[in-house]
Structure 1
């Protein structure tokens, strides 16, 4: 799978931490950090320019920012912000996979989805990212599961030549889309797409909190294994879900829900995961983002 080996990852992390300490006067070098912390760009409140937003994320303790594409990605501005802050853009999130799903019954909409993914792949490469987060399909009463499976895989295969040329992976996220509901099926879906390719293109951007409603993160992690390219981080409370309603389950801070972070860490270590994890929670100002970064360090035991 694409990604950092441990030596490369540690070299980049140590260099980045040293740069932050010198660049903003904050000495926050941690021992052997095995997770590089990112956040979604929309979480950053404040900052009139992209450079200011990157600086806020840096000062909060993050190592990178994920952008949305297609969207207003100003490549020169992004590169300047990266250079000034020392942060990376590890990847981008496809912004159209809910409004224009790859399995839409209208062929015209599917073509628009293909075009959006092409833009996202190119945007990702242009700012040094390594993967595009994709929701592969959306199943509902009017879209049979088998059709969603077939149409989404057809779309993914159409993206292989460009993704391979650019060296950018397509990373599927587990969301509440009524699709790929078991880790065994999720692994098989990915393997079917990679089968026959000289180099794997597809993997998983595994969302730890999203799975808690209908599964256990450690089971998914150990089944997906090296297919996991990146992580999304949030927490979820089954107790709040049961007592207050489904979506209230997300109403807990990272570390305060029922993800079972000790088991998550053990499973990530078991499969040898080292790399990026992006917060996907309600954002805010510097104080709020600093709290999120510290919570991430605690749940990954690198505080």
Structure 2
């Protein structure tokens, strides 16, 4: 059966990150994910995680200036050293927190760099990430992000992701499927889940429009969650959504 996870970077945002582990457990979650845990020490997060009795299933690799509007690291040819440093930092956190998956954000297409060159750079960096994490039993993921919310992002849809999966060619590489980002581009979410089921290793969800909880937008989550079961997916399904009133629980997912 698929398992629900809470994204601690967006949920329970009224309290410090270490306190969100316990909040997630109280809301019914056994698993959590964190976008960027790096502003807190490993011992602080590990202690909070263990005390709450939850498991961290995914973190993002450090992404440089991406979230501040920059190009990021993974597809930028000039950022080789910074990407290697990010790998080492991500590895330290992932192994200490017993993380299953590490997500590498592709980044934005840099000025003066062709799409072909950026994709070649990204492919090589993902292969390096796979080699780095494989000895520790960790899967590397990459996700498509809609260009409406993040202009110039290199990887936008599942066709891009499938081409990347083929190019990387590593056993511990898989697709991170974000329901919100696909719906934001008016793609048929259930059709994409079925088409790409063989390579999906992590799923995230939020309603669209608005990126809120199921029921705040127009998506048919009963149908979507049923499709996730039908395709035989057995991984985590993470609530990466905005919850301004801080009341989101597993019961609101109708999963």
Following TM superposition, where does structure 1 have runs of at least 4 consecutive aligned residues deviating by more than 3 angstroms?
Answer: 45-49, 140-143, 177-182
- Indicate how the Cα distance of structure 1 residues 176 and 140 shifts in structure 2: closer, same or farther if over 3 A, else same: farther
Q: Does 1:189 align with 2:164?
A: yes
Task: Tell me how far apart the structure 2 counterparts of residues 49 and 187 of structure 1 sit (CA, whole Å).
Answer: 34
SS at match of 1:71: coil
Q: Would you say the 8 A contact 2:10–2:241 is kept in 1?
A: no
Task: Tell me how far apart the structure 1 counterparts of residues 219 and 84 of structure 2 sit (CA, whole Å).
Answer: 34
Deviates more, 1:222-231 or 1:40-49: 40-49
Per-residue CA deviations over 1:220-246 (Å, capped at 9, x if unaligned) read 21222132111111111xxxxxxxxxx
- The match for 1:45 among 5, 10, 13 is 13
SS at match of 2:55: coil
- Indicate how the Cα distance of structure 1 residues 210 and 182 shifts in structure 2: closer, same or farther if over 3 A, else same: closer
User: Which stretches in structure 1 are left out of the alignment for 5+ residues?
Assistant: 1-5, 7-33, 237-248
Per-residue CA deviations over 1:31-76 (Å, capped at 9, x if unaligned) read xxx32222223532344572x3322221122222223446134222
User: Which stretches in structure 2 are left out of the alignment for 5+ residues?
Assistant: 148-152
Q: Which has the larger radius of gyration?
A: 1
Aligned position for 1:25? none
Q: Does 1:293 align with 2:253?
A: no
Per-residue CA deviations over 1:164-217 (Å, capped at 9, x if unaligned) read 1121111112212543444334223113212xx4xx121122110111122121
Per-residue CA deviations over 1:66-117 (Å, capped at 9, x if unaligned) read 2344613422222322222111111212241624232224x2x232023213
Aligned position for 1:16? none
- The match for 1:78 among 41, 45, 50 is 45
SS at match of 2:89: helix
With normalisation by structure 2, the TM-score equals 0.83
- Matched ranges for 1:20-99 at <5 A: 34-47=2-15, 50=18, 52-69=19-36, 71-96=38-63, 98=66, 99=70
- Indicate how the Cα distance of structure 1 residues 207 and 96 shifts in structure 2: closer, same or farther if over 3 A, else same: same
* Number of equivalences: 244
Aligned position for 2:177? 206
Aligned position for 2:204? 232
- Indicate how the Cα distance of structure 1 residues 103 and 185 shifts in structure 2: closer, same or farther if over 3 A, else same: closer
Task: Tell me how far apart the structure 1 counterparts of residues 137 and 206 of structure 2 sit (CA, whole Å).
Answer: 28
With normalisation by structure 1, the TM-score equals 0.71
RMSD over aligned CA atoms reads 2.5
